[in-house]
A = this chain, B = another copy of it.
Amino acid sequence: MMNSFDFQAKTEIYFGKGREEEVGKILKKHNAKNILIVIGKKSVIKSGLLGRVTHSLEGENITYHILQGVRANPTFDLVREGNKMVIENQIDFILAIGGGSVIDTAKCIAATTYYSGDIKDFNLHKASPTSALPVGVILTIAAAGSEMSASCVIQDDETEIKLGFLSDLIRPVFAIENPELTYSVNKEQTAYGVVDILMHTFERYFSYSDKNELADEFALGLLKNVVEVGLIAYNEPENYDARARIMLDSTISHNGYTSIGKKYVFPVHALEHAVSGRFANIAHGCGLAILFPGWAERYYIYDIDKFARLGRHVFGIKETKKKEAALKCIKAFKSYFKKLGMPSRLSEVGVKESDIDALADIVSGKGSKVVDHHCHPLDRETAKEIYLKVL
């Protein structure tokens, strides 16, 4: 029977060429007067984007401070730095210019600055935020979907563990999305993004559904769209339409619509966070591309119909024997990831057989917990089996 649920996805989207020049007006509408801008290393400075943004802010008399240096798989260090800047400068709004790492850093600063406990509490699920500063986004890569999600993933460098939490309080107030800003995203990063968008949607789709689930129809539609345009964006970096569509796909893939009314768990993400948490050189999207086929080949037997339906909708696979159809679907995604230049084995990205036990320990809390996937829980043993399968 259909679940009871609460739902909202309030982020305002401002989509199209040049929209970042409206950021001052949009912030003013939301009563921002003194903002913290969070950015990565240097690319938004070099590209001139930051200059256009500050020009727009100055036009509306909005003052700003800049927190620079967010890295991929972002850490708590910069969150602490952000906390200080917010307090010292009486910041009333946080603007993230970047992708998932920058946005998640901004969200974590927003939720933790005025929280009296430890800044890791939310990520460790020891507490939930009760308030947060508003966050806005200027998106520069189609990937994480953090621009419209309630999610925040931060890396704990001490333990090498990536930790995530969900709260509607950190869902961005607005996302400015100019597809042209993603023209400079290189092929590799574009591919990682495509994989990440697919995976947010896979994990929702493969979570338990009732019959006639609207969410599943949306998930299938989104997956088909991503597969179609993702490869075009990968091969034609300045194809506006492909960049635009994958950007919108990114935003919708993680805002809740592809799981509306459903409960969901993210077993492949859990497997991957263990990997990129321990191996900082491995991009999240890269890890997902390697691990999904391993997970799928282990789990498809529990949900053959859904794999068959996915293959039919996305790749037009007409095989009527369901098991064969499901396997063809997995094969088609493996081949798709290959076209995106993704590696298919953990050993290709530096993971050794001797690392596998440690990864399985991380996913399973040394065997003490399982990711409670509806069709078959992901425990230490199964995690190890999957890691070894794709080593």
Contacts and interface: CB of A to CB of B under 8 A. Distances in A.
B13 A7 contact: yes
Contacts of A221: 214, 217-218, 220-221
Interface stretch (A124-132, A242-250, A366-374): A242-250
B240 A1 contact: yes
A16 B4 CA distance: 4
Nearest to A4: B16
Contacts of A220: 217, 221
A333 interface: no
A210 interface: yes
- Listed from nearest, the 5 A-B pairs whose CB atoms lie closest are A4-B16, A217-B221, A2-B244, A7-B13, A10-B10
A257 B148 CA distance: 14
Contacts of A2: 179, 240-241, 244-245, 248
- Work out how many copies of this chain go into the complex: 2
A8 B175 CA distance: 10
Nearest to A17: B4
A187 interface: no
8 contacts: A2-B240, A2-B248, A4-B19, A5-B15, A6-B12, A10-B10, A217-B218, A217-B221
Interface stretch (A106-114, A223-231, A266-274): A223-231
A186 interface: no
Contacts of A245: 2, 212, 214
Interface in A344-380: none
A214 B252 contact: yes
Interface in A1-29: 1-17, 19
A224 B218 CA distance: 11
A33 to B, nearest CB: 22
A369 to B, nearest CB: 29
Contacts of A7: 12-13, 15
A260 interface: yes
Contacts of A9: 9
B257 A229 contact: no
A36 interface: no
A173 to B, nearest CB: 10
A222 interface: yes
A333 to B, nearest CB: 18
A7 B244 CA distance: 15
A8 B13 contact: yes
A343 interface: no
A259 B210 CA distance: 26
A261 interface: yes
Contact of A260 (B3, B12, B179, B252): B252
A228 B213 CA distance: 10
A213 B11 CA distance: 21
Contact of A257 (B19, B210, B249, B257): B257
Given A217-B222, A252-B260, A14 B10 contact: no
Given A217-B221, A224-B217, A225-B214, A241 B12 contact: no
